[in-house]
Chains A and B, each alone.
Chain A
Amino acid sequence: MDSELNIGIYKKKKQQRKQLIEAGIIIAIALIFAIILPIVLPAFRLRLFGRFLALTIVALGIDLIWGYTGLLSLGHGIFFALGGYAIAMHLKLQIPEGQLPDFFTLYGVNKLPWFWQPFYSFPFTLVALVVIPGIVAGLLGYLVFRNRIKGVYFSILTQAALLVFFNFFNGQQKLINGTNGLKTDTERIFDLLVSSATVQRTFYILTVIFLVLIYLFCRWLTSGRFGRLLIAIRDDETRVRFSGYDPTGFKVLVFAISGAIAGIAGALYTVQTGIITPAIMQVAFSIEMVIWVAVGGRGTLIGAIIGTLLVRLAQTFLSERFPQVWLFFQGALFLTVVTVLPNGIVGWFKDYAWQKVQFLLGLRQPLVTYPQIEEDPAIQREREQLTRE
């Protein structure tokens, strides 16, 4: 009994040490991103990198539902755009009282549409850019999951929903400037120009902070019982029902959370891009989000971040040098990942490369298939008996 207790304490200490190391790494990387990069990179590059970091946030949301819960959404552009439009509407309203945002006059609108009104308020906007995408995702999820629609049918439905939203936003000039979108660069926030270097740097640092917070939030979600249940739903939903859980509620919740995360990402992306248009809801962009997660590794949160940065940085680098062939690279990358590395880069590293590294460094390789000899109670008992005799 004593030894069991000792093993328990030892395990706990080991776990705590691991957590400390991980927290240290996260803080170090966040500090590099938040403090060193703004000094090293020119403003233009920094802004670009900030946008990429915003995209990693939406990738985290996709990993949550696809990698953990097995729901492949091809419609995350909706939630991303909703967050972006929410912040853009607020910025558009930073004008002297009584005036309308400039584009309205083009279409002969002289009264602010009712749904613009609450966006005068900054706190409301902050809440709205999380809650509205969350609610839309939750509703969509509820309708779909309640009817036990799964797999490919779910993916097709999300893509259809994306097209509906795209066409709606595209067609409504008088409400949200249609296909031209909302330009935020020339607007002011707290009496500062949005495109000015200080504001952009603040947005960049905010993006880093949100990325860390949302990463930790996703870690918390996926590490406990809730996370294990998500994995169980992914692997065998019918069995989950017979374990006494109703998968519908869990799926709706996690889909809503994923939508809300996409909303935050959309807002951060919009202010660093300078404009939001319905083009953000094109089919290709939502599929690209899925590709980032696939490249990085499904079911590993860090993989979603790495995948996004890798694809996007490669895109920037290659499209600057070989503008015509970039899309071929992207296709090749996706094909390679799907055929050679089905678990993505991080999955490959975990399953294969890490062991190689350990081997090269001469570290002991842990056995996974059977209990290690030292920890096998049967062997320990035998040893005790032998020493007693």
Chain B
Amino acid sequence: MTNKILEIENLTVSFDGFKALNNLNFSMNAGELRVIIGPNGAGKTTFLDVITGKVQPTKGRVLFKGKNLKKIPEHKITRMGIGRKFQTPRVYLNLTVRENLDLVANRNKNVFPTLFGYSSSTEKRNVAGLIETIGLDAKADLLADLLSHGEKQRLEIGMLVAQSPDLLLVDEPAAGLTDEETANVGALLLSLAERHSIIAIEHDMEFVRQIAQDKVTVLHQGSVLCEGKMEQVQNDPRVIEVYLGEPPEE
């Protein structure tokens, strides 16, 4: 039996009757890097919302490491080991790069330990190492507000890693980046995939080709349309019809 990190069974989410997710089944193994693609409105972001507890499922259930996530508040799900990166970079603009990372690297996130605790030297070293990994050492003490879009993306991925989650959820990490920055982020994700399970949602097919080593899942109208290796998915007639479009004549 393989070790499933995430299993989703018959998941339906409806907003006032509109089914954003419709009877969706999904599972992935620990250590996998899964890319999810799909046209606009396919339910990709809702999918992440349900896993992280932002939206409650109408029907069905989500199991993380075998545990049902129903009615567990967001911060507890995060502490269980699911980290999420949002579509637009959401870092704390009025804190410096180092402070941003220090805040998430904090081991005990209850009120009083946060008030009276100091960052331990291990935490400080972790943060310093992370700053180097995301390549922001020269700007470690600048406010995040002053970073460029690409740097913010990298900082946010660094913040995810600082939580040391088992499962990383990454929503369109390449949105709004230059080609060079996209390649950087792709390389960063691939190096992270060595030690984490990752679900990446993406639109940019070039980028998907770069990072999709394992399976790709295609969502359409709230359910899984097909699943498989990149080459398989690319040539699936249904996927071409709803999402990719006909390849240009050569």
What would 7 more interface pairs be, CB under 8 Å, given A225-B117, A239-B86, A242-B84? A225-B119, A229-B103, A232-B95, A235-B92, A243-B78, A243-B159, A377-B137
Residues of B near any A CB (own CB < 8 A): 52, 54, 73-76, 78-79, 83-84, 86, 90, 92-95, 99, 102-104, 106, 109-111, 114-115, 117-119, 137-139, 142, 146, 159, 163
Do A225 and B102 touch across chains, with their CB atoms under 8 A apart?
yes
* Contacting residues, chain B, for A221 (C-beta < 8 A): 115
Residues of A near any B CB (own CB < 8 A): 221, 224-226, 228-229, 231-232, 235-236, 238-239, 241-246, 249-250, 253, 368-371, 375-378
Do B111 and A225 touch across chains, with their CB atoms under 8 A apart?
no
A307 to chain B, nearest CB (A): 20
Do A249 and B103 touch across chains, with their CB atoms under 8 A apart?
no
- Inter-chain CA distance A243–B106, complex, in Å, is 10
Do A249 and B95 touch across chains, with their CB atoms under 8 A apart?
no
B86 to chain A, nearest CB (A): 7
* Contacting residues, chain A, for B104 (C-beta < 8 A): 243-244
Report the nearest A residue to B165, measured CB to CB: A244
Given the known interface contacts A225-B114, A228-B103, A376-B138, the answer about A235 and B93 at a Cβ–Cβ threshold of 8 Å is yes
Do B90 and A236 touch across chains, with their CB atoms under 8 A apart?
yes
* Contacting residues, chain A, for B75 (C-beta < 8 A): 241-246
B77 to chain A, nearest CB (A): 9
- Inter-chain CA distance A241–B78, complex, in Å, is 8
Do A239 and B111 touch across chains, with their CB atoms under 8 A apart?
no
Do B92 and A244 touch across chains, with their CB atoms under 8 A apart?
no
- Inter-chain CA distance A251–B99, complex, in Å, is 20
* Contacting residues, chain B, for A232 (C-beta < 8 A): 92, 95, 103
Cross-interface CB contact of A246 among B52, B73, B137, B138, cutoff 8 Å: B73
B9 to chain A, nearest CB (A): 24
* Contacting residues, chain B, for A226 (C-beta < 8 A): 114-115
B125 to chain A, nearest CB (A): 13
B79 to chain A, nearest CB (A): 5
B208 to chain A, nearest CB (A): 24
- Inter-chain CA distance A129–B71, complex, in Å, is 40
